Amino acid sequence: MSIKFNVNGFPYEVQAADYAPDTTLNAFLREHLHLTATKYMCLEGGCGSCVCVIRRRHPVTQEVQSRAANSCLTLLNTCDDAEIMTDEGLGNQQSGYHPIQKRLAQMNGTQCGYCSPGFVMNMYGLLEQHRGQVSMSQVEDAFGGNICRCTGYRPILDAMKSFAVDSNIEVPPECVDIEDSFELLCPRTGQSCRGSCSRPPVRDQGGSHWYWPKSLTELFGSLGQVASGELYMLVAGNTAHGVYRRPRDIRHFIDVNMVPELRQYIIETDHLLLGGNVTLTDAMQVFLLAAKRPGFEYCAQLWQHFNLIANVPVRNNGTLAGNITIKKQHFEFPSDVFITFEALDVHVLVYDNPSTQRVMNLLSYLSDTTSKLVLGGFILKAYPKDRFLFRSYKILPRAQNVHAYVNAGFLIEWQDIQRRIVHSARICFGNIRPDYIHDDQLEQLLPGRDLYDPATVAQIFQQLPASLQPEERPPEASPEYRQMLACSLLYKFLLATAPKERVRERFRTGGLLLERPLSSGSQSFETIKKNYPVTQPVQKLEGLIQCSGEATYMNDLLTTSNAVHCAFVTAKRVGATIEQIDPSAALQCKGVVAFYSAKDIPGANNFVLTDQLTPEVDEVFAAGRVKYFDQPLGVIAALTHDAAVYAATLVVVTYARDQRKVYTTMNQVLAEKQTDRIVSKSRDPVEPLKMPPLAPGDVLGRGILELESQYHFTMEPQTTIVVPLDDILQVYCATQWMNSTQGAIARMLRVSVNSIQLQVRRVGGAYGAKVTRGNLVACATALVASKLRRPARFVQTIESMMETLGKRWACRSDYEFRARANGSIIMLTNNFYEDAGCNLNENVVDFLTLPVLRNVYNLTDSNYRTQGSAIRTDAPSSTWCRAPGTAEGIAMTETALEHIAFTCQLDPADVRLVNLQPGNKMVQLLPKFLASTEYRKRRDQVNLYNSQNRWRKRGLGLALMSFPLNTIVAFNYPVTVAIYQEDGSVVISHGGIEIGQGVNTKAAQVAAFVLGVPLDQVRVEASNTVSGANSMLTANSMTSEMIGLAVRKACDTLNTRLAPVKERLGPRATWVQVLQAAFLQSVFLIATESYRLGDIPNYNIYGLGLTELELDILTGNHLIRRVDILEDAGESLSPHIDVGQVEGAFVMGLGYYLTEQLVYDRQTGQILTNRTWNYHPPGAKDIPIDFRIELLQKSPNPVGFMRSKATGEPALCLAVGALFAMQHAIQSARNDAGLPREWVRLGAPTTLETVVLNSGSQVEAFALQ
């Protein structure tokens, strides 16, 4: 039997028996149709890289619906009769590019490009869904499910908002209008689809069954095929898989998408009926219609709340019944559908059979154990607004696409609306504990009482905390915060709904939610036309093919059909010795080919080269004592990715009973004085500090700054493909350091280095994650390929990456200061510690942190001492992460300056001014920056605002930076430039890696400038270990400059060779004529050069950042109102690229300081935040609302390549200003709360919980007056 559908206009017929029942559309597109524009990373609908567009006819209205969908969640068998569009089908080199693709590329919306197809298709789905009639607000709302780690989102949003009907964004003239959508054609007949094709009711798939009922009767017929005890699943969008993984032993899959009884809605005068299988998106559209009718005005509030559920592709396909079913199966699930519907006393319509239906309330349904019950619909009552009051709330760790810390719904029925006397109340909270939904005591207290009477309010908040006893459930926020948050939401409800005259004016904004206006940005930079295309703001070379999905990444490469897939087997007991590994159960699984462990490694069990940067052994597979939770013990090879991942869980490991105590954090080590774990102590300077006596007016202070780790969150997973060819291994690896990967594999296999050859065309995001950590995956893959002599592919899941690989070095600073009354530093000492994990590789203490600590300040041997130490913990070896060590070093010093200003009660800008190092460039830059950003005026405005608002605060945070660009090792980047005499085109091959930073574009710009040819005649080939032999790592923001310098050297060599030919031919000779004449004279048209140590002297990059934020004290939610950044980039080689680097680095820094929290089990070391479900990098609506970037003009770098400076990492250091803005706002709240004036310890991340628990709010003090 077959299912039929169209993909990009081409019909496909699939024999279902040939595919596993849980095969996703993503797997089919990529692995069977080889349409690799549709990417994947998280496989749970949380990253957006897999988005495509699906059109199908609605079974009730018969209208064609076009919706963006997560192909990683959409099951293949639910695509029957659908029309699927992927990015390469939307536009490509052959047929021409789509306006969305062109506009995103031309407006600098790509960097690494891995996320770009998902953004394009999500936008295309939005335009199709609304027939092109979208507003800028709708567009900005639509990308909550698309993560971009590179760009900082601003250029992406600009490109997408330019399609809105109310757009005022300037559009490149070559972008044409969006085309009309086309009619859905039936894949069976080729005619216009009527949506009524009959399907066989059942199909056997290797022990599993799929059903496609087209009516309620057929649905129950399908359920009748399910034997007692067998698991079945009603399938619609399969979006629940993004929360809880689907059981493997489901035997019956019933596609309910085309059952009309479950997809209808009816609006009557007294109720609204929504079919159980109505999607969240369709429900939201119904809410907008219903909200216009008397009694259903509250549906506008439901729309607002549902707009915060998941993301657009998930809402497009997830259904109301599906969401409630998750709650039924997992009562701890903080369902927003449930909490709002329960507050509204929504009843459900359930079917025991096609002719028997009953109505019950939601809680009864959740506890009902009747087998094969079908949730047919939801009945929402009319609540006339003159008798009822409804509000709902959801507080999230970031702006979009996160489950709630706490959600709530409140419904009040008035007995006397004039006097605000309550008749009845429904007070519901979510994510407190499974058995607490209604606050029964409050629901009994409120009837007959004036809701806003001071005595009532006081009694509410005396009573509520006792009822709210949240359970401890890591990685969820603490019970203390969730209790406070629940109380705050009810208080916010009272503030928002009370008559204006009954609420103190300063309190009123506390009743409002933070409303984010449309974001915008400005970019200011200098270009020098005589140097074009260098300094010209050009489009990235790869921009268009990235936006069309034609740019290939490692996992897009095809291998032969006998390739195997790999997955790690990992350890679960830290500190214990491995006694035995038994893979027998795994090897018996269908499709499993082999298992290898440390005993199978013929050479060195080490995935790094033991050199200056990585002096210690990093085991490929643990061979003795386990060093950290989830340390790889071996690798499974299987015929499919899913088979390998599953089989890896079946390997049985036996440990000796010699487990030692585990130290998972630096603070544990320090608290228990484990001095043997505190290593690599460094001092600056070495001599002890001599202190003068304390003078009148001097101030003293001390503090602690804790900066936790950060996951890199590369959109492209760690990926390696190894193909045995002849007597070599051809390796395709997403690495930042080919030489390291090549050497590590060769040493592990005990073969010559020249028998391992790498090729890297591009990498989909790196940030340090792929300098050496990717070698672990590469070595495991190479071992499998070598042993089996067949291609091997290893694509790590996000869980595996977050579990097995190291992250940013966490940092703790214990500092102490003495300062004069004007803030000038008399003494500053800083003892800092950085978390190395289980070994000291990629140590940041000496090379990266110590050199930046003095920053721009007058910290000399007479007033300054620091000591830095690396600490070994039982965790994966920490690794470099964007601005490694430098971000922490600058944050430490800037925090100390901020603390001094607080202690002296001075403006932080004035304290920085008085402490600047004489002669430092910042002496000129800071006063100008303060003036251009209107700092003084804005600080006064912030203080005035804070004095007028009790529960809403603003803050300003200033951060300064001197980022040293130092060559810490002998960098080497071979470059080859070749010219083809036939047409004069140029090709470059270099030893760097294109990771999104634009090294290829800058190299091409330099070549075009030096050779005097058009930029479009220059190509950059994939990097490899032949022409790029012995290349160093692509890191530290330096690669683009070094490659550019080597390109210029090579082009100068070619120009020198061509000069005699040009002179002979005369000035009228064309470029091609010169080349052809040179070729006939045997002039060598290939030149190879390299950057050499010392070619570019060390220099400093200066930066200034000013962050303004607004804070909701009751919830901890915040908005970044405005950010100004001035960065000294010299003469930018490529301004659009450099501005993008600044924006992206800063937004990654915002994630580091505000939203990205890693949570571990402190006893075992297991990471608990290992997915997009619970780890939260910034999204499109977390960026600054007003984002202003200026590259310092008329400031050439005299020692830099072509007078430029690097831009990739420094701006991340300026994001620490968000902490200072937060401190400013929190201090105002603490002052209002009557707390003593004390410095608040804020670090990374400063979450909503940190804010609320440090703001001094007391539930007992909640009042309206």
Q: What would the DSSP string read from start to end of 768-814?
A: TTTSSHHHHHHHHHHHHHHHHTS-EEEE--HHHHHHHS--SPPEEEE
Q: Binning pLDDT at 50, 70 and 90, where does residue 184 land? A: very low
Q: How is residue 954 written in tokens? A: 């603003």
The reply to whether 72 sits in an annotated binding site is yes
Q: What is the DSSP string of 971-1031?
A: --EEEEEEE-TTT--EEEEESS--SSS-HHHHHHHHHHHHHT--GGGEEEPPEETTTTTT-
DSSP H or E segment with residue 816: strand 811-819
147 shares a domain with 61: yes
* Buried/exposed code over 314-331 (b: 16+ C-beta within 10 A; e: otherwise): bbbbbbbbbbbbbbbeee
On whether the CB atoms of residues 784 and 635 are closer than 8 A, the answer is: yes
Give residue-wise pLDDT tens across range 641-683. Answer: 999 999 999 999 999 998 899 999 999 999 999 999 999 778 8
257 shares a domain with 169: no
Neighbouring-strand partners of residue 379: 273, 347
Asked if residue 180 has pLDDT above 50, the reply is no
Q: Which whole number is the average pLDDT over 1048-1077? A: 98
The reply to whether 736 sits in an annotated binding site is yes
Q: Over the chain, what is the mean pLDDT?
A: 96
Domain boundary among 466, 493, 509: 509
Please give the pLDDT value at position 176: 45
Q: Binning pLDDT at 50, 70 and 90, where does residue 277 land? A: very high
Alpha carbon of residue 555 to chain centroid: 20
Q: Which of 54-63, 685-694, 759-768 is predicted least confidently?
A: 685-694
The reply to whether 733 sits in an annotated binding site is no
The answer to the question of residue 1218 being in a domain is no
What one-letter code names the amino acid at 123? Answer: M
**Active-site choice (1108, 1110, 1209, 1249):** 1209
Q: Binning pLDDT at 50, 70 and 90, where does residue 1093 land? A: confident
The reply to whether 394 sits in an annotated binding site is yes
Domain boundary among 476, 492, 509: 509
Instruction: Tell me the C-alpha distance between 200 and 320, whole Å.
Output: 27
Taking Cα atoms as reference points, which of 330, 393, 392, 324 lies closest to residue 361? 324
Question: Residue 990: which CATH number?
Answer: 3.30.365.10
The reply to whether 299 sits in an annotated binding site is no
Pick the more confident residue, 86 or 181: 86
Question: Residue 87: which CATH number?
Answer: 3.10.20.30
Q: Binning pLDDT at 50, 70 and 90, where does residue 735 land? A: very high
Q: How is residue 566 written in tokens? A: 């790999």
162 shares a domain with 271: no
Q: Give helix 922-932 / helix 908-915 axis angle, nearest 10°.
A: 160
Asked if residue 198 has pLDDT above 70, the reply is no
What one-letter code names the amino acid at 1239? Answer: W
Q: Binning pLDDT at 50, 70 and 90, where does residue 173 land? A: low
Q: Binning pLDDT at 50, 70 and 90, where does residue 172 land? A: low
Q: Which whole number is the average pLDDT over 1189-1212? A: 97
Q: Which of 575-589, 1032-1046, 1072-1086 is predicted least confidently?
A: 1032-1046
Please give the pLDDT value at position 183: 46
Give residue-wise pLDDT tens across range 925-951. Answer: 999 999 999 999 999 999 999 999 999
The answer to the question of residue 389 being in a domain is yes
On whether the CB atoms of residues 668 and 812 are closer than 8 A, the answer is: no
Asked if residue 119 has pLDDT above 70, the reply is yes
Instruction: Tell me the C-alpha distance between 979 and 1077, whole Å.
Output: 13
Give residue-wise pLDDT tens across range 1221-1248. Answer: 999 999 999 999 999 999 999 999 999 9
The reply to whether 938 sits in an annotated binding site is no
The reply to whether 52 sits in an annotated binding site is no
Question: What contacts 24+ positions apart, CB below 8 Å, involve 1167-1170?
Answer: 1167/629, 1167/630, 1167/802, 1167/803, 1168/474, 1168/475, 1169/475, 1169/802, 1170/798, 1170/799, 1170/802, 1170/803
Alpha-carbon torsion angle 1252, 1254, 1256, 1259, nearest 10: 40
295 shares a domain with 434: yes
Is the C-alpha dihedral spanning 276, 278, 284, 290 positive or negative?
negative
482 shares a domain with 381: yes
Give all strands of the β-sheet with 728-733 in edge-to-edge order. 592-597, 632-638, 564-570, 792-795, 719-725, 728-733, 756-760, 1023-1024
The answer to the question of residue 814 being in a domain is no
- Domain limits for position 34: 2-195
On whether the CB atoms of residues 596 and 784 are closer than 8 A, the answer is: yes
The answer to the question of residue 1045 being in a domain is yes
DSSP H or E segment with residue 126: helix 116-129
Give residue-wise pLDDT tens across range 27-43. Answer: 999 999 999 999 999 99
DSSP H or E segment with residue 678: strand 678-684
Residue 198 CB contacts under 8 Å (≥ 6 apart), including other chains: 214
269 shares a domain with 364: yes
Q: Which residue has the tokens 């005649």?
A: 1017
Q: How many CB atoms lie within 10 A of CB 220?
A: 18
The pairing of strands 864-872 and 678-684 is antiparallel
On whether the CB atoms of residues 735 and 760 are closer than 8 A, the answer is: yes
For the chain, what is the total number of helices (H) and then of strands (E)?
33, 42
The reply to whether 148 sits in an annotated binding site is yes
The pairing of strands 1118-1127 and 1186-1191 is parallel
405 shares a domain with 266: yes
491 shares a domain with 361: yes
Q: Which whole number is the average pLDDT over 1036-1060? A: 96
The reply to whether 79 sits in an annotated binding site is no
The answer to the question of residue 97 being in a domain is yes
Asked if residue 187 has pLDDT above 80, the reply is no
Please give the pLDDT value at position 611: 82
Q: Is 88 known to be catalytic?
A: no
The answer to the question of residue 6 being in a domain is yes
Q: How many CB atoms lie within 10 A of CB 1073?
A: 14
Domain count of the fold of the chain: 3
Instruction: Tell me the C-alpha distance between 216 and 254, whole Å.
Output: 12
Domain boundary among 459, 475, 509: 509
Is 165 exposed, middle or buried (CB count within 10 Å of its CB: 0-12, 13-18, 19+)?
exposed
Share of the chain above pLDDT 90, in %: 93
The answer to the question of residue 271 being in a domain is yes
Alpha carbon of residue 467 to chain centroid: 36
1087 shares a domain with 978: yes
Alpha carbon distances (Å) from 276 to 58, 156, 291, 295, 382: 15, 36, 20, 22, 19
Asked if residue 193 has pLDDT above 80, the reply is no
Q: Which residue has the tokens 């070896």?
A: 877
Give residue-wise pLDDT tens across range 992-1003. Answer: 999 999 999 999
What one-letter code names the amino acid at 278? Answer: V
The answer to the question of residue 354 being in a domain is yes
Q: Binning pLDDT at 50, 70 and 90, where does residue 838 land? A: very high
DSSP state, residue 494 = H
DSSP state, residue 499 = -
483 shares a domain with 401: yes
pTM of the predicted protein model: 0.97
496 shares a domain with 373: yes
Q: Is 1 helix (H, G, I), strand (E, B) or coil?
A: coil
Give residue-wise pLDDT tens across range 410-459. Answer: 999 999 999 999 999 999 999 999 999 999 999 999 999 999 999 999 99
Q: Which whole number is the average pLDDT over 1195-1212? A: 96
Q: How many Cα neighbours within 13 Å face the side chain of 368?
A: 22
Instruction: Tell me the C-alpha distance between 107 and 109, whole Å.
Output: 6
Question: Residue 362: which CATH number?
Answer: 3.30.390.50
DSSP state, residue 244 = S
The reply to whether 487 sits in an annotated binding site is no
Q: Which whole number is the average pLDDT over 856-879? A: 97
Instruction: Tell me the C-alpha distance between 619 and 607, whole Å.
Output: 6
Q: Give helix 299-306 / helix 336-343 axis angle, nearest 10°.
A: 160
270 shares a domain with 184: no
Taking Cα atoms as reference points, which of 928, 444, 991 lies closest to residue 736? 991
Q: Which whole number is the average pLDDT over 519-525? A: 97
Instruction: Tell me the C-alpha distance between 755 and 742, whole Å.
Output: 9
